[in-house]
Homo-oligomer: A and B are copies of this chain.
Amino acid sequence: MSETTTTATTTAEDLRARALKLDATDPLAGRRELFALDDGVYLDGNSLGALPVHVPARVQDVLTRQWGELRIRSWDESGWWTAPERIG
């Protein structure tokens, strides 16, 4: 039963080294910086995902420029009229 023997001799350091190696080669690792996350371990939020970092500036532009400055011209100039078609 070589498998049992292998498991028994695995140390915490081995597991940490293995985890770090997997993290280093994780093709999805860079996705984390796309979201506003602190140092905590973020597991899941079924009712609300983490905030994408680009959202506040995007929403601010919609509010201050598209709504505040262009006003009803945004129906055409900011593409509001066709938004339902783009969003689907």
Which A positions have Cβ atoms within 8 angstroms of B? 36, 38, 45, 47-48, 50-51, 55-56, 59-60, 63-64, 67-69, 71-72, 74-75
Q: How many copies does the complex hold?
A: 2
B75 pairs with A51, CB closer than 8 A: no
A67 pairs with B47, CB closer than 8 A: no
Query: Which one, B47, B59, B60, contacts A72 given CB within 8 A?
Result: B47
Query: Which one, B45, B56, B69, B72, contacts A48 given CB within 8 A?
Result: B72
B67 pairs with A63, CB closer than 8 A: no
B47 pairs with A75, CB closer than 8 A: yes
* A to B CB contacts below 8 Å, 11 in the list: A36-B68, A36-B69, A45-B71, A47-B72, A50-B68, A51-B63, A51-B64, A51-B68, A55-B63, A56-B60, A56-B64
